[in-house]
Amino acid sequence: MQLSGLAPGDWVTLNARSAPDTECLVSAEGEVRTFTEVDGRVTRLVRALRTLGVGRGDRVAIMATDSCDYVEVVLACMKLGATYVALNFRLAPAEVRTVLGASQAKVVFLSGRYEEAIEGCFPEAAAHVRARITFDTSADGLPSYEEFLASGPDGGEIESVTGDDDILSISFTSGTTGTPKGVMQSQRMIKAITGSGVAELGIRPGDLLMSGAPLFHAGGIGHVFYGVSRGAGSVVLPQWDVDLGLRWLQSGRVRQAMLVPSMIIQLLAHPRVRATRYPRLRSIMYGGAPMPPSVIREMAEVFDCDLHNGFGAGTEAGGQLVLRPEDHRRALAGEEWLLGSIGRPAYGCDVRLLGPDGLEVPDGEVGEIASRGDTVMSGYLGQPELTTRVVRDGWFRAGDLAWKDTEGYFHLAGRADDMIVRGGENVYPVEIEDVAGDHPRIAEIAIVGEPDHHWGQVVTAVVTLKDGHRDGGLTAAELRAHCRGRLAAYKIPTRVVVVDDMPRNSTGKIHKAVLREWLAQGVIA
């Protein structure tokens, strides 16, 4: 295997040489670790891992809330050529056993609160786990991270010796008791995704970045990679907390933030969000779920910064499409139709819309989003048949549907498995969510199909309401009146279900499969 000339494992070292005192990692409490400090700690951690027999190609699992220490483990794995496996800390015990067993990790780093969940993986995990190390306290006397770090032998600088085909990360996108999907991310993929993000967002040396996404998610750790690669710092929040997030945004230090729509909605509803201006906040990247145009307009008014809407399959194929700041400015100046778009292809990514026959569909017709480039995964761990189904001739297809206008902007239609078929007509939820979700009383909306004897399926809107609008509810007649004239009659929701909270997956997206199950079982009505 040909070794790469420059690897992600070298990023911290290179910035430690050129800007040694620049902040690299910043804790939620404000503790700063410079690039020099992080480089020294990562180098020592590499040596400590080697004493456990961890080397190139071996796997290291992490199950913890986010911290600067967590990031150092990831960076050490990349320098060592080991594969880090970031486990979703929201998994149930049975799911943890499944994914840890599939990972075959030699070492597990964990938060004390997840010690019991990891302990539940034994004795089976003893066949491959050589050590467990806790980032904080341990009920069973496990060695602490700082103790383990101190055990690393002294020595000089370590260069990363890895090739672009090396798998640097395995991210499990499903934690069921069946076979999980372990997405294998190569060094080539991580470099390409990072380069694309830095180019699109215009990350600059010395910037301070903040992401609301957890580090076990591709968007969370990917945002840190933008900073580490470019000589910029990252604020690492333990978990998303609206008060803490707002405090950092109002600190005047954060230049770029990445947030999912639910976080932005929380921020805009916060009583102190308008208490100050945000002159040093240069941009916000949002994505992961549809955003009502009214929320985008309010976000632009409150934060007064560049806006980027990113769309993609972050784990399997990185960012595919971007609605850029100039597009948002056009939209807010009067071309509001652009706010319903998910943008045009991201830097370094080829995106097309394909029909069932694998051929590109004409403009205006709905097709499946397919992308190719160095940002595409190497495949699913131990699942070559599944890999072949989603990666065909180098094109990754995740089941997202969209159509493209004559200016080259893509418009999301939904997922193939979320599509509603009403009386033989295909109904794409996102189109309805854009219109219905703009109702002034709606905070969030999810459009789902429900079985119907006559039509096959009918359109149902599940909504949460904004503060101050919850007592009176929202009737189907009100929502239908709001949509009339903007949507075809068969697309307008037949009924409205108001809930207090939406079910969400690990990345904060609304879990429509759970909503459909709740409706079928009468949990909500």
Do 25 and 38 meet the contact criterion of CB atoms below 8 Å apart? Answer: yes
- Domain end, chosen from 352, 381, 415, is at 415
Q: Are residues 81 and 49 in the same domain?
A: yes
Whole-number Å distance between alpha carbons of 493 and 48: 59
Q: Are residues 286 and 308 in the same domain?
A: yes
Q: Nearest to residue 135, comparing CAs of 89, 167, 168, 94? A: 89
Torsion-angle region of 343 (φ positive above 0: left; ψ -120 to 50: alpha; else: beta): left
Provide the 3-class DSSP secondary structure of residue 268: helix
pLDDT tens series, the chain, 525 aa: 445 568 999 999 999 999 999 999 999 999 999 999 999 999 999 999 999 999 999 999 999 999 999 999 999 999 999 999 999 888 878 889 989 999 999 999 999 999 999 999 999 999 999 999 999 988 888 999 999 999 998 888 888 889 999 999 999 875 333 456 899 999 999 999 999 999 999 999 999 999 999 999 898 999 999 999 999 999 999 999 999 999 999 999 999 999 988 889 899 999 999 999 998 999 999 987 667 788 899 999 999 999 999 998 878 999 999 999 999 999 999 999 999 899 999 999 999 999 988 899 999 999 999 999 999 999 999 999 999 999 998 899 988 899 999 999 999 887 777 888 887 677 888 889 988 999 999 999 999 999 887 787 899 999 999 886 666 679 999 999 999 988 888 899 999 999 999 998 766 778 888 999 999 999 998
Torsion-angle region of 22 (φ positive above 0: left; ψ -120 to 50: alpha; else: beta): beta
- Domain end, chosen from 415, 444, 464, is at 415
Q: Are residues 456 and 339 in the same domain?
A: no
Asked if residue 93 belongs to a domain, the reply is yes
Q: Nearest to residue 192, comparing CAs of 347, 38, 21? A: 347
Asked if residue 188 belongs to a domain, the reply is no
Q: Which domain does 177 fall in, by range?
A: 8-182
Torsion-angle region of 450 (φ positive above 0: left; ψ -120 to 50: alpha; else: beta): beta
Asked if residue 56 belongs to a domain, the reply is yes
pTM value is 0.84
Please report, for residues 355, 367, 408, the alpha-carbon distance to residue 362 in angstroms, rounded to integers and kept in the order given: 10, 9, 11
Asked if residue 2 belongs to a domain, the reply is no
User: Which residues does residue 378 pair with via DSSP β-bridges, in sequence order?
Assistant: none
- CB neighbours of 485 closer than 8 A, spacing ≥ 6? none
Q: Are residues 165 and 262 in the same domain?
A: no
Angle at 381 between CA 44 and CA 163, to 5 degrees: 50
Provide the 3-class DSSP secondary structure of residue 345: strand
Q: Are residues 402 and 423 in the same domain?
A: no
- Domain end, chosen from 117, 148, 182, is at 182
Asked if residue 1 belongs to a domain, the reply is no
Q: Are residues 276 and 361 in the same domain?
A: yes
Whole-number Å distance between alpha carbons of 124 and 434: 48
User: What is the domain-level CATH number for residue 292?
Assistant: 3.40.50.12780
